[in-house]
């Protein structure tokens, strides 16, 4: 009897070790893949950045792993559908994505970040299901879409991003728009950014405005920047 008992304990420990290693690998890959996407969003000063994307992917991977575990554990005892929990993740992530859209102030922004959150949740589900190849390829495609394609589009459109630290949001925003038009440029968008990435340099009574403009030419851009710098209440300006 003792030999039989030891045998079953050994089998159980082997299964437990297998589950632990499998969970460790999958959660690590979920962090790695989603972290790549999240880093790009963080670098672009988006409301949902590095940590948010990682949490979404890890949660999705855990849901899929749990669903797979329950299916295997109770196989033959119930008609449990292993894809049911994953489907709830795909639909439920929309609520989090909607929050990133509402996070932007003046116009409809955050759609790309909402889509990236939904995409990393799908990556997490793929990792949780053991579909590593699909998750890896999707990560590369998503990163290229967010990073490389953005640079290509920006270079073709000659869009310039101006980051302006100002004292009064409403007053300076109107004056910035007038200056851009005065020198023949077009103001594509103007939004408020809170300098979370470097709070030590942020003044408590100031905001950071991101102005996306299409200057007429290089001379027009330089004159626009020079004029904005001379505005009262402008503390700093840099171009990306």
Is 181 found in the same domain as 107? no
pTM: 0.57
Q: Do 147 and 164 share a domain, yes or no?
A: no
Rounded Cα–Cα distance for residues 31 and 54 (Å): 5
Q: What percent of the chain has pLDDT over 70?
A: 73
> 233: alpha, beta or left, given left = phi > 0 and alpha = psi -120 to 50?
left
Is the domain of 69 the same as that of 181? no
- How many other CB atoms are there within 10 angstroms of residue 109's CB atom? 19
How many other β-carbons are positioned within 10 Å of the β-carbon of residue 78? 10
Pair (98, 184) in one structural domain: no
93 is in which domain, residue-wise?
2-154
Least confident of 96-100, 142-146, 181-185, 193-197: 193-197
158-208: pLDDT as tens digits = 778 888 888 766 667 778 888 888 888 888 777 777 644 444 444 455 778
In the structure, what pLDDT confidence band is assigned to residue 28 with cuts at 50, 70 and 90? Answer: very high
pLDDT (tens digit, 9 = 90+) per residue, 101-112? 654 444 556 678
Cβ atoms 163, 44 nearer than 8 A: no
Asked if residue 127 has pLDDT above 90, the reply is: yes
Same domain, 147 and 168: no
> Both 42 and 116 in a single domain?
yes
pLDDT score of 133: 92
Pair 45, 20 in one domain: yes
Name the domain boundary from 154, 189, 223: 154
Distance CA 98, CA 85 (A): 21
Domain boundary among 139, 154, 169: 154
**15/30 same-domain check:** yes
State how many domains the chain has. Answer: 2
Residues 72 and 150 in one domain: yes
Asked if 162 and 65 sit in the same domain, the reply is: no
Last residue of a domain, one of 116, 131, 154: 154
Asked if 145 and 210 sit in the same domain, the reply is no
* Per-position b or e across 205-230, b if 16+ CB within 10 A of its CB: ebbbbbbbbbbeeeebbebbbebbee
**31 and 73 fall within a common domain:** yes
Cα–Cα–Cα angle for 152, 216, 177, rounded to 5 degrees: 100
Provide the mean pLDDT of the chain. Answer: 77
The CATH number for 194's domain is 3.30.70.260
């Amino acid at each position: 009897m003792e030999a039989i008992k030891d045998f079953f304990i050994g089998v159980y420990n082997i299964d437990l070790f297998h589950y632990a290693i499998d969970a460790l690998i999958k959660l690590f890959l979920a962090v790695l893949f989603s972290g790549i996407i999240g880093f790009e969003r963080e670098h672009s000063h988006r409301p949902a950045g590095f940590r948010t994307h990682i949490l979404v992917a890890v949660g999705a991977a855990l849901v899929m792993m749990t669903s797979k575990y329950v299916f295997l554990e109770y196989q033959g005892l119930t008609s449990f559908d292993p894809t049911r929990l994953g489907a709830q993740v795909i639909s439920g992530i929309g609520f989090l994505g909607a929050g990133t859209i509402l996070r932007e102030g003046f116009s409809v922004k955050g759609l790309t970040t909402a889509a990236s959150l939904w995409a990393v949740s799908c990556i997490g589900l793929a990792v949780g299901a053991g579909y590593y190849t699909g998750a890896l390829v999707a990560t590369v495609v998503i990163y290229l879409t967010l990073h490389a394609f953005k640079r290509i589009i920006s270079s073709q459109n000659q869009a310039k991003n101006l980051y302006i630290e100002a004292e009064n949001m409403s007053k300076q925003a109107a004056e910035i728009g007038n200056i851009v038009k005065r020198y023949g440029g077009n103001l594509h968008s103007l939004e408020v950014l809170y300098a979370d990435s470097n709070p030590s340099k942020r003044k408590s009574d100031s905001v950071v405005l991101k102005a996306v403009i299409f200057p007429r030419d290089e001379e027009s851009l330089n004159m626009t920047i020079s004029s904005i710098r001379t505005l009262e209440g402008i503390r700093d300006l840099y171009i990306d």
